[in-house]
Amino acid sequence: RKIYQNILKSISAKERLLAVLIDPEKFYVENAVRFFKKVNRSSATHIFVGGSTVEDKATEILVSEIKKNTGLPVVLFPGDVTQITNKADALLFLSLISGRNPEYLIGKHVASISKIKNSNLEILSTGYILIESGKQTAVERVTQTQPMDRNNIQNIVDTAKAGELLGMKLIYLEAGSGALNPVSAETITKIKQDIKIPLIVGGGIKNKQQLEKAYQSGADLVVIGTAFEEDESFFNDLLK
Ligand code: 1GP
C-alpha cells in the first residue's frame, strides 16, 4: 500500500526520510499552526504520533489537527492500544522484539484488532528494538523489558534479522526518547548490511551532525522528537 511503497521508492531513489515525532502528551494543539509552518518548510517527510502514556482521545484530537496543517503522511507510533485512531494514515504495528514481554510481542496486537480491522489504516509490521542508551527510558519502564546491550552488536543484528525473517516490513532501532546516546553508527551499519527491509532509527538525535551520521551509517528513516520539542529553530537547519 501507499505509504510503505513510497518508503521503498524513496530508498531506491536514495532519498533521506525524516519523521517528526509528536507526543500528544507534550504537544499543545494551540501551537499547531505555528509548528507545522516550520515542519512544512523543512525536509521532514513523515509525522509520527505517539507516546508512552497518553490520555484517551488525545491522539485522535491531535491527529485531526495535524491533518489540517500538513499534507505529510501521519503514522501512528502507539505506546498503547488506546492511541490507535483511524484519523491517521498508517500504524506502526510494533512488536518489541528486543524484549521478552509477551504483552508487547503479541498481546497488545490481539487486543487492538477490534479497533483496526475495519479501519483504513495501513498496517506496517515493525520489529521494534530497544537499545540501552545510558539511562532508563520510558519504553523500558512502561514495557518492563530490558533494552539490548549496546556493545553486543551481533545480538542486535541477529534480532533485526530474525524480525525480517518473521516477515516484518520495517526495523526500528530505538535508543529511547531523550536518550543520552543515539544508536551507534556501527550498529546501524552492521544491521543495514544484513537486512533488506527499511531501517528506522530514533532516540537522542539532537542536531544535524548526529542526523547526518545516522543517514551515512545506513538509516533510511530517522525519527526526531525531543530536539524539535525543545527548540523549534532546529527546523531552520533542515530546510528543504
Ligand atoms: C523516540 O525514537 C523516538 O521514540 C525519538 O526520540 O525524542 O529522543 O528524538 P527523541
Tens digits of residue pLDDT in 81-130: 999 999 999 999 999 999 999 999 999 999 999 999 999 999 999 999 99
Given a cut of 90, whether residue 159 has pLDDT beyond it is yes
Torsion of CA 127, 151, 215, 135, to 10 degrees: 80
Percent of the chain topping pLDDT 70: 100
Of 135, 133, 138, nearest to 148 by C-alpha is 133
Given a cut of 80, whether residue 185 has pLDDT beyond it is yes
Do 222 and 209 form a contact (C-beta atoms < 8 A)? Answer: no
The domain spans of the chain are 2-238
Band the pLDDT of 47: cuts 50, 70, 90. Answer: very high
Tens digits of residue pLDDT in 65-74: 999 999 999 9
Given a cut of 80, whether residue 213 has pLDDT beyond it is yes
Alpha helices (H) in the chain, listed in sequence order: 2-12, 32-41, 58-69, 102, 108-116, 138-143, 153-165, 185-194, 208-217, 226-230
CA dist 17 and 229 (Å) reads 19
Expressed in angstroms and rounded, the spacing between residue 51 Cα and the centre of ligand 1 is: 10
Neighbours of 21 (CB within 10 A): 22
Expressed in angstroms and rounded, the spacing between residue 113 Cα and the centre of ligand 1 is: 26
Q: Which CATH entry fits the domain spanning 2-238: 3.10.300.10, 3.40.50.720, 3.20.20.390, 3.40.50.170?
A: 3.20.20.390
Residue 55 has a pLDDT of: 86
Expressed in angstroms and rounded, the spacing between residue 176 Cα and the centre of ligand 1 is: 6
Residue 56 has a pLDDT of: 83
> Which protein residues are within 6 Å of ligand 1, measured from CB?
21, 174, 177-179, 202-205, 223-227
What is the ipTM metric for this complex? Answer: 0.98
Residue 53 has a pLDDT of: 82
Residue 127 has a pLDDT of: 98
